[in-house]
Structure 1
C-alpha cells in the first residue's frame, strides 16, 4: 500500500514538473517572438529607411508637382 502511495506521489510530482517546464518554455518562446517582431518593426521604420525614401522620391512637394505635371494620353 505504501508503495502505491509513493508511486502516485511520484507521478503527481512528475506532472507538476512537466507542466512547469511547458509553461516556462511557452513564456520564453512568446517573449522571443515578441522581441523579434519589435526588431523587425524598428528596422522597417528606421531613420535610414525614411531618408532613403525621401532622397529617392524627393520632397513631398516635388512628388506632388511631378504628379500634377503628368499629362494623360487621352
Structure 2
C-alpha cells in the first residue's frame, strides 16, 4: 500500500511540474521570438534614420550658400 501511495504522489508531482513548466517554456520561446523581431525592426529603423540624416546633411551642405551666389558662379 505504501509503495503505490508513494508512486501516486510522485506521479502527481510530475504532472504538476509539467503543467507549471511547459507553459512557461512556451511563453519564454514566444517572448524570445518577439524580442528578436523587435530588435530587427529597431535596427532597420535606426539605419533608415541614419540614411535620412545623411541625405539631409548633404542637402544642407549643397544649399549652404545663397542661391544668387550659385547663379553668379555658373
Question: Larger relative contact order (C-alpha < 8 A, sep ≥ 6)?
Answer: 1
Aligned CA RMSD, in angstroms, stands at 2.4
**Contiguous gaps of at least 5 residues in structure 1:** 60-74
TM-score, normalising length: structure 1:
0.60
TM-score, normalising length: structure 2:
0.60
Q: What is the number of equivalent residue pairs in this alignment?
A: 57
Partner of 1:25: 38
**Contiguous gaps of at least 5 residues in structure 2:** 1-13
**Which 4+ runs in 1 deviate beyond 2 A?**
51-56
Match of 2:48 among 11, 15, 35: 35
Find the structure with the greater CA-based Rg.
2
